[in-house]
Structure 1
């Protein structure tokens, strides 16, 4: 009897030990952000990480790994052990534009397991308010009447902002000069300083300058009108069929256990359903979506095909 009791106790302890070892998360979780601190992707990563820290019972820490249009950080995430202890919050450009324009990438879309599209970035094409331009059509007309006078500031060759400009030139017959910057902030400074006259920038960057009468919004990106850019028409209704707004999502390396993906998806669903979380992002021009893993995968597939067609038509390709 004593031997049997000892064995029962030993098996119970062993089972408890195994359970503790396999519990998720078993240690602090790292979230890689492949862009510099201070932008909307970093903001979402930090807001989500704060919530996940409370919900998972382990510290969730953000690590910025900027460089190469998000390629460096994305590759670091893809190469991590697929145990759920390393995640990444990516801008859609990383998964739907980079594969369309780079001849060689150290990763593929299949290297990432979707957890959730968290939010979309309210973005508009804006111009200096000093110009007599109030629509995309007037922008094109002004460019034709003043060749070489309009410069479009975008945040990097191959970025969504660059491809929007390429579409305006290719589809609408403009010849606007592209001027690359290292991010939206520098592009905004160029716009305010009249080094460039037009750009596509997020609401959080341009709101105060539109209110101050320094900038004017011509067109909103995305499929639905933005309440933040009240009364501004959609770019897709002004001659450009592909004018999607960028989104921000949470991913894990492919191979991460399904149970971990399901747990994280449920946690993100709870976070994005919280009115206070929605309000905190809404103030920054970020519309919370909270898509499921399956919905996020479908978005990547559809938008990847769209951007591939845009890049091909505009002849944008990078080594």
Structure 2
């Protein structure tokens, strides 16, 4: 028993040293796993793969991306929470992970408040899209079509309770329709489903649909922004189109519980440098996202306010709280 106790004590001391500030000075000394809460091919995945190339020389180690899309970020949130807090797992999270899921679901398999905020990365520019063959050239025509066929339209979401799904619920409440939600693991798969007419409408980040718009396969009816986009001056804002449902999508970086503060600061500095670099921000502009890196403390403060905003939007959508049940 004494021998076993010594082994356990030694393991504890080794773990403590691995998480100490002194050890953080040599961090990282092996590749870093980057869990991305969305499917490959989605605009966030494209951005993070480009960022990983820029981050490698700054951190001295490669970032290995692991896509964990689906269930409104819950699958990735669980994977992040169950990972060791040693700095070798980082998690690309978004508004559903940290703000919407906690106010909508009971029995989540992760605790959003235990994930360690590292930095906000960017805001999404979202749009309301339809399949190009749908006989609706504007929001008014879409509403008339939806009301004529109350349960005849399918809508791509990121799963029950995701922000796209909340917007669908709100639309149904406003229009008296029964538009059906169909879950996908990311904006990329959702965009392809819309182009293939598996679904007829959706709201997602514009960057996922740019190529399909150029190919004439999908059409943007409105854009979620305070002002019209310079890139799409003929597309009205959602508010102009009569869809005044606030809320803006964002993406950020978190780490598992227990990740040392020194490691968080080092990772934050590298990500902020990349997402502030003029060449990279020009790339982000082409993806129709707005860079918004922060300090860990500023991101934590932002998350508190965003949780309050999410709770208000859930009430507006009249979406009752429910128990999370893995699919």
Instruction: Provide the TM-score with structure 2 as the length reference.
Output: 0.80
CA distance in 2, matches of 1:166, 1:211: 29
Counterpart among 25, 28, 34 of residue 27 in structure 2: 25
SS in 2 for 1:164: helix
Q: Is the 8 A contact 2:42 2:189 kept in 1?
A: no
**Equivalents in 1 of 2:286, 2:54: separation in Å?**
18
What's the C-alpha RMSD, in Å, of the aligned pairs?
2.8
The answer to whether the aligner puts 1:39 opposite 2:42 as a matched pair is yes
**1:152 and 2:152 are equivalent in the alignment:** no
1:258 has 2:258 as partner? no
Give yes or no for the alignment of 1:173 onto 2:175.
yes
Q: Is the 8 A contact 1:140 1:174 kept in 2?
A: no
Residue of structure 2 equivalent to 1:182: 184
Task: Select 2:319's aligned residue among 312, 315, 318.
Answer: 315
**CA deviation digits over 1:2-32, x for unaligned, max 9?**
xxxxxxxxxxxxxxxx997442414222222
Tell me the equivalent position of 2:283: 280
Partner Cα distance (1:265, 1:289) in 2: 13
Quick check: 2:70–2:159 contact (8 Å CA) kept in 1?
A: no
Give 1:125 shift.
0.3
Alignment of 1:196-235 (within 5 A): 196-235=199-238
Q: CA deviation at 1:318?
A: 4.4
2:6 match: none
In structure 2, the residue matched to 1:62 is 65
Give the 3 Å change call, closer, same or farther, for CA 318–243 of structure 1 in structure 2.
farther
Taking a change above 3 Å as real, the CA distance of residues 269 and 189 of structure 1, as seen in their structure-2 partners, is closer
Q: Which moved more, 1:107-116 or 1:66-75?
A: 66-75
Deviations 1:254-306 (A, max 9, x none): 43333322222222221112121112233233322223323322332233223
User: How far apart are the structure 1 equivalents of 2:38 and 2:217?
Assistant: 28
Larger mean Cα displacement after TM superposition, 96-105 or 254-263: 254-263
Per-residue displacement from partner, 1:205-261 (whole Å, max 9, x unpaired)?
Answer: 322333344432122124454334333232245455543332221112243333322
1:139 to 139, 142, 145: 142
Q: Which has the larger radius of gyration?
A: 1
Q: Which runs of 5+ in 1 are unaligned?
A: 1-17
Asked if 1:50 is matched to 2:53, the reply is yes
The residue correspondences of 1:111-122 to structure 2 (distance < 5 A) are 111-122=114-125
Cα distance in 2 for partners of 1:229, 1:95 equals 31
Distance 1:310 1:318, change over 3 A: farther
Equivalence for 1:161 = 164
The C-alpha deviation readout for 1:154-195, integer Å capped at 9, x for no partner, is: 33222211111111122x234042131323344334433334
Q: Give TM-score scaled by structure 1 length.
A: 0.81
C-alpha change, 1:129 and 1:279, in structure 2 (3 Å) is same
Q: Any idea what the Cα deviations from partners look like across 1:43-71, whole Å, max 9, x if unmatched?
A: 23322222222112233322334454322
5+ long unaligned stretches in structure 2: 1-19
How far apart in 2 are the matches of 1:256 and 1:122? 31
Report if aligned partners of 1:41, 1:90 keep a CA contact under 8 Å in 2.
Answer: no
Tell me: CA distance 1:24–1:61, structure 2 relative to 1, closer, same or farther (3 Å). farther
Partners of 1:85 and 1:306 lie apart in 2 by: 32
SS at match of 2:314: helix
Q: Aligned partners of 1:100, 1:214: CA distance in 2, in Å?
A: 36
2:194 is the counterpart of 1:191: yes
1:306 corresponding residue in structure 2? 309
